[in-house]
Amino acid sequence: MKLRRSLLFEVASAVAAGERSFPMELRSLSISADNDLFSSPSLRLILSHGILHLLQGRADEDVPWLSIFLLAASLSVVMAEEDNQITNFLFDHFNATSKITNIGDSSIHQSNALRLTSHSERLVGRAYYSNPVAMKSRNGSVISFSTSFIFSMVPHSRNGGGNGLCFIMTPSTSLNGALPTQYFGLVNKTSNGQPYNHIFAVEFDTIKSIGVNDKDSNHVGIDVNSVKSLDTHSAGVWEGTRFRDVDLKSGHNIRAWIEYDGESKKLDITIAGVGETRPQKTLLSKTLNLDEVIQDQMYVGFSASTGSSPLVEDHYILAWSFTTGNGKAPELDISHLPSFYIKTPNFYRSAKFISTITVCFVVLILGLILGTFYWLRRMDYIEFYEKWELQYWPHRFSYRELKLATK
């Protein structure tokens, strides 16, 4: 398609310059019903007349201008036809009018964010862009796509959190039998790994599930028809040659970039904290042919799940952009994002610590006072002997000694 479109531009420029020599490709171009460039009879008719005038044009002025008009008309149709295959959207926030389909526990939160799940047990929540997205070119290969989104995962206990969320592409919004926990609301034990799923996902996992060979409890993975990842990497950022961990369930806002090149079949995944510069080095990069996985029309969105307590957390999507084709996903506005980060209180500044220290200090002072008073009282009853009394007899006897002796 790109070659043909550039050819039309070349010819239109040549005609406008008054030239009479045209590329051989144009002379051999077949205006037939099976030519995938000319999908409609009206377009084939316009092009056939335009090319005929170009190849047989004379020196009079009417023919070149007519040819330019016909070429411009045909080019506009071709461009419109190609543009119809491009999906491009941007959500800097979410509200009731957003073209989002919520399934399960997913809903629009009062903060204008998507909340995929709350921090309750064994929940599944999915949110999709409402319209299906054309994902294949005319030759059946997956086209390029790019997406960027901001998420936050908030556990409600120090030792809790789970299970995580995924960016997903599925052939339908209904995934029958999909389970929570490590299955992310995408598959179940029976369907996991089956090619009929036609599911592509990038997981952001906060639990190390032994059954699916998770790398650790804080990783990013590439999933195809299965939650057993094809490739994983601990979540983090490359800063030159140094790797810095990023805690997915810290509650902080984290940004992800996922880009797929339809020609090279290369998938790149990058994450960073919101407000940080996008890392030059990707977190995960893998050559992956998705032609047999992704169908002509797919639904794009997110899925999240929770486990049994305390393995629960809130999963939020704060902003999202997506595009197909060779462009980058639209830039997100990060200036008005909500924050769900729960600040861990400083124990040494907490009321509990201060009250404990105060009580201990008061007890210590009272102890010193009572101890001093007791010591002074004892001093009143202590007998002090002269040196000669210790050497010679008789000497004085204490009241206590006399009392014991006369019992």
Q: pLDDT at position 117, please?
A: 97
Ordered per-residue pLDDT tens for the chain, 407 residues: 444 445 555 555 565 555 555 555 544 444 443 444 444 455 555 555 555 555 555 444 455 555 555 555 555 555 544 545 799 999 999 999 999 999 999 999 999 999 999 999 999 999 999 999 999 999 999 999 999 999 999 998 877 788 999 999 999 999 999 999 999 999 999 999 999 999 999 999 999 998 888 999 999 999 999 999 999 999 999 999 999 999 999 999 999 999 999 999 999 999 999 999 999 999 999 999 999 999 999 999 999 999 998 899 999 999 999 999 988 999 999 999 999 987 765 555 566 767 888 888 888 888 888 888 777 766 655 555 566 555 665 666 666 677 777 76
pLDDT given for residue 46 in this prediction: 54
Residue keyed to tokens 């007890």: 363
The pLDDT of residue 112 = 97
The pLDDT value given to residue 213 = 81
Which of the 8 DSSP states describes residue 326?
Answer: S
What is the model's pLDDT at position 382? 59
19-53 burial, b if ≥16 CB within 10 A, otherwise e?
eeebeeebeebebeeeeebbeeeebbebbbbbbeb
Q: pTM value?
A: 0.70
Would you say 8 and 29 are in contact if contact means Cβ atoms under 8 Å apart? no
> In whole angstroms, what is the distance from residue 10 CA to residue 71 CA?
11
CA angle in degrees (0–180, nearest 5) for 131-136-138: 125
Element (H, E) at 324: strand 313-324
Distance CA 60, CA 63 (A): 6
Q: Please tell me the number of Cα atoms within 13 Å of 255 on its side-chain side.
A: 22
Domains of the chain: 2-83 (no CATH), 88-344 (2.60.120.200), 349-405 (no CATH)
Question: What was the pLDDT predicted at 35?
Answer: 46
